[in-house]
Amino acid sequence: MDQPIGVIDSGVGGLTVARELMRQLPKEEIIYLGDTIRCPYGPRPESEIVQFTLEMVDFLIKKQIKLLVIACNTATAFTLDLLKEKLDIPVIGVIQPGARAAIKVTKTKRVAVIGTEGTIKSQAYPKALKQISSKLSVSDLACPAFVSLVESGNYSEEKIKKVVHESLAPLKSQQGLDTLILGCTHYPIIADQIQAEMGSQVQIISSGAETAREVSTILSYQQLGYKGDRFPTHRFYTTGDPDLFKQIANQWMDDPVDSVKNVVIDQTKNK
Q: Report yes or no: 51 and 271 within 8 Å, Cβ to Cβ.
A: yes
Residue 262, SS3 per DSSP? strand
- Is 184 annotated as catalytic? yes
| Spatial distance between the Cα atoms of 53 and 61, rounded to a whole number of angstroms | 12
The answer on whether 185 is annotated among ligand-binding residues is yes
Q: What are the residues whose beta carbons fall under 8 Å from the beta carbon of 39, sequence distance 6 or more? A: 10, 11, 147, 151, 240
Nearest alpha carbon to residue 83 among 42, 52, 114: 52
- Bond from prior residue into 242 cis (ω within 30 degrees of 0): no
The answer on whether 41 is annotated among ligand-binding residues is yes
Among 72, 112, 142, 205, the one annotated catalytic: 72
Q: Report yes or no: 140 and 111 within 8 Å, Cβ to Cβ.
A: no
The answer on whether 234 is annotated among ligand-binding residues is no
Among 8, 75, 184, 205, the one annotated catalytic: 184
Nearest alpha carbon to residue 118 among 92, 84, 148, 142: 142
Q: Report yes or no: 195 and 189 within 8 Å, Cβ to Cβ.
A: no
The answer on whether 42 is annotated among ligand-binding residues is yes
The answer on whether 106 is annotated among ligand-binding residues is no
Give me the phi and psi of 191, to 5 degrees please.
-60, -35
Question: Annotated binding site, which residues?
Answer: 9-10, 41-42, 73-74, 185-186
Question: Annotated binding site for substrate, which residues?
Answer: 9-10, 41-42, 73-74, 185-186
Q: Cite the active site residues.
A: 72, 184
